[in-house]
């Protein structure tokens, strides 16, 4: 059975070119780039090239790139590094739909005396920029708002947001993990102060990320140790993976147009066909301002876990939301923040494509998903109640759908 992989917002395939570029640094070029001798020096030159490649992908200067272990570390470093730099300020602004790498840090800080403001989103998943302006105070140490939502693909007007924050003299960070490599980004023209990215979202391996820190931005190291990364992140560099990230950045830059044309067309074709063939299906989020590879669909009156299991039986890999929260049967915090009703939120599925997907992949999903949805609705008391025009109290109050469907 062929694997149809449509869960690229969870992780991407490491590009073969990236893997090939990494291999020499596990065996032949194993020197420490901080060493004084020629053997380490030649590795340092390759590391310098990788920094230039990552900088080029987002329009930054190479000196503004700090290598980390992942997107979560980058987010943590941006937030904590800023708070360390402004110890007198105790206010942090985020959105309600942030990734757990930001949201849970905020909750952690709140328990330790910080004041956290979580900006609301509307039914399309978009922010009210007037609310942002209203909540900023002299005590605000940092605003951290994601560029694109990992579940819905909704893109925020991030440069406009950053400009509002900059006007108040407040540092601004964006978690751009889902956006980098999918949409053009240019830090040279943007007011963003800090930006997080992750290798495994853009065809590099897991375990490598980067944090962009604009020159002149106040920042204290989150990982304290040696002099590496110009004193901004201690620890011997993970050279093979940094090399991989550099080549992945170059790879994504070369395929950016394809991501926004062919991949977007595949996504649109999949979405349109499913909306036509499956009644009571809803697209979650702003369809005009979203990533080119992502669609989040709710199939009303059934639950997503069952859909995913039956899709998996057909070789199709998708997600019910963020991989970091997929263990929960509760509806996505993103969809809840958008006001998506329980009748739809429980049955949400995210399809996220990449340049490795084909027309044939989309055809398989279009063929197998409608009968899966019908099969689940046939055994769902909620669907039957809907058909019969009865109230669905358990759904409307967030009842345990898995129990009712499988029990």
- Interval 183-206: pLDDT, tens: 999 999 999 999 999 999 999 999
Are 274 and 233 contained in the same domain?
no
CATH at residue 293: 3.90.1150.10
| Residue 324 pLDDT | 47
- Tally of structural domains, the chain: 2
CA distance 229 to 227: 7
Q: What is the mean pLDDT of residues 313-323?
A: 84
| Residue 392 pLDDT | 59
| Residue 393 pLDDT | 55
CA distance 51 to 49: 5
Q: What is the mean pLDDT of residues 400-406?
A: 35
Are 247 and 308 contained in the same domain?
no
Q: Can you read off the two tokens belonging to residue 230?
A: 């110009």
Has residue 227 been placed in a domain? yes
| Residue 407 pLDDT | 28
Q: What is the mean pLDDT of residues 208-222?
A: 97
Domain boundary among 254, 278, 301: 254
Of 70, 252, 317, 324, the active-site residue reads: 324
Q: Can you read off the two tokens belonging to residue 163?
A: 């400009």
Has residue 5 been placed in a domain? no
Are 283 and 241 contained in the same domain?
no
388 pLDDT tier (thresholds 50, 70, 90): confident
Are 285 and 166 contained in the same domain?
no
Are 81 and 197 contained in the same domain?
yes
Edge to edge, the sheet with strand 294-299 lists 281-283, 294-299, 348-352
| Residue 321 pLDDT | 63
High-pLDDT (> 90) share of the chain, %: 88
CA distance 77 to 219: 9
**pLDDT tens digits for range 244-261:** 999 999 999 999 999 999
Q: Is pLDDT above 70 for 327?
A: no
* Across 243-252, 317-326, 392-401, least confident range: 392-401
Are 246 and 108 contained in the same domain?
yes
Are 100 and 53 contained in the same domain?
yes
| Residue 406 pLDDT | 29
Domain boundary among 254, 280, 309: 254
CATH at residue 55: 3.40.640.10
DSSP for 43-109, please give it. Answer: HHHHHHHHHHHHHHHHT--GGGEEEESSHHHHHHHHHHHHHHH-TT--EEEEETT--HHHHHHHHHH
389 pLDDT tier (thresholds 50, 70, 90): confident
**pLDDT tens digits for range 33-86:** 999 899 999 999 999 999 999 999 999 999 999 999 999 999 999 999 999 999
**pLDDT tens digits for range 328-337:** 556 799 999 9
Has residue 49 been placed in a domain? yes
Domain that holds residue 99: 16-254
Q: What is the mean pLDDT of residues 157-174?
A: 98
Has residue 53 been placed in a domain? yes
Q: How far is CA 284 from CA 111, 249, 299, in A?
A: 32, 29, 11
Are 168 and 242 contained in the same domain?
yes
Q: Is pLDDT above 50 for 401?
A: no
Whether residue 317 lies in the annotated active site: no
Has residue 2 been placed in a domain? no
**Interacting residues of 216 by C-beta distance below 8 A, sequence separation 6+:** none
Does the model's pTM come out above 0.85? yes
Number of H helices, E strands in the chain: 17, 12
High-pLDDT (> 70) share of the chain, %: 93
Q: Is pLDDT above 70 for 402?
A: no
| Residue 381 pLDDT | 86
Are 260 and 250 contained in the same domain?
no
Domain boundary among 254, 279, 312: 254
Give all strands (DSSP E) within 230-345, no chain letters. Answer: 281-283, 294-299, 316-317
Are 210 and 270 contained in the same domain?
no
Q: What is the mean pLDDT of residues 159-170?
A: 98
**pLDDT tens digits for range 347-364:** 999 999 999 999 999 999
Work out the mean pLDDT of the chain and round it to a whole number: 93
130 pLDDT tier (thresholds 50, 70, 90): very high
Has residue 353 been placed in a domain? yes
| Residue 403 pLDDT | 32
Are 60 and 197 contained in the same domain?
yes
Residues 213, 194 contacting (CB under 8 angstroms): yes
Residues 211, 68 contacting (CB under 8 angstroms): yes
Are 79 and 91 contained in the same domain?
yes
Has residue 59 been placed in a domain? yes
Has residue 6 been placed in a domain? no
């Amino acid at each position: 059975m062929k694997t149809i992989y449509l869960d690229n917002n969870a992780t991407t395939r490491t590009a073969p070119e990236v893997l090939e570029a990494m291999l020499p640094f596990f065996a032949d070029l194993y020197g420490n780039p901080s060493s004084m001798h020629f053997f380490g020096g030649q590795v340092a030159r390759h590391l310098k090239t990788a920094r230039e490649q990552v900088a080029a992908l987002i329009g930054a200067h190479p000196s503004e790139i700090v290598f980390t272990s992942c997107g979560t570390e980058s987010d943590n470093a941006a937030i904590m590094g800023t708070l360390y730099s402004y110890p007198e300020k105790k206010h942090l602004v985020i959105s309600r739909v942030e990734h757990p790498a930001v949201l849970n840090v905020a909750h952690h800080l709140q328990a330790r005396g910080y004041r956290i403001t979580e900006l609301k989103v509307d039914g399309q998943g978009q922010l009210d920029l007037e609310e942002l302006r209203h909540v900023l105070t002299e005590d605000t140490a940092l605003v951290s708002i994601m560029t694109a939502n990992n579940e819905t693909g909704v893109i925020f007007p991030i440069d406009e947001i950053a400009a509002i924050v900059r006007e108040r003299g407040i540092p601004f960070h964006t978690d751009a993990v889902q956006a980098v490599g999918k949409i053009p980004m240019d830090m040279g023209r943007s007011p963003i102060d800090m930006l997080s990215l992750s290798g495994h979202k853009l065809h590099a391996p897991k375990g490598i990320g980067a944090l962009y820190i604009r020159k002149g931005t106040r920042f204290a190291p989150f990982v304290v140790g040696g002099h590496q990364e110009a004193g901004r992140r201690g620890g011997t560099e993970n050279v093979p993976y940094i090399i991989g990230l550099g080549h992945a950045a170059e790879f994504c830059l070369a395929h950016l147009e394809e991501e926004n044309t062919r991949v977007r067309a595949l996504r649109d074709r999949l979405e349109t066909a499913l909306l036509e063939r499956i009644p009571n299906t809803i697209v979650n989020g702003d369809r005009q301002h979203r990533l080119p590879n992502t669609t989040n669909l709710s199939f009303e009156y059934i639950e997503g876990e069952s859909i995913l299991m039956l899709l998996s039986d057909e070789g199709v890999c998708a997600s019910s939301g963020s991989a970091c929260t997929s263990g929960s049967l509760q509806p996505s915090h993103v969809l809840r923040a958008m006001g998506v009703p329980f009748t739809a939120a429980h049955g949400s599925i995210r399809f996220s494509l990449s340049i490795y997907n084909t027309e044939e992949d989309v055809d398989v999903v279009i063929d197998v998903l409608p009968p899966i949805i019908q099969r689940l609705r046939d055994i769902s008391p909620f669907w039957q109640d809907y058909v019969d025009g009865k109230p669905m109290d358990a759904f409307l109050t967030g009842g345990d759908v898995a129990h009712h469907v499988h029990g």
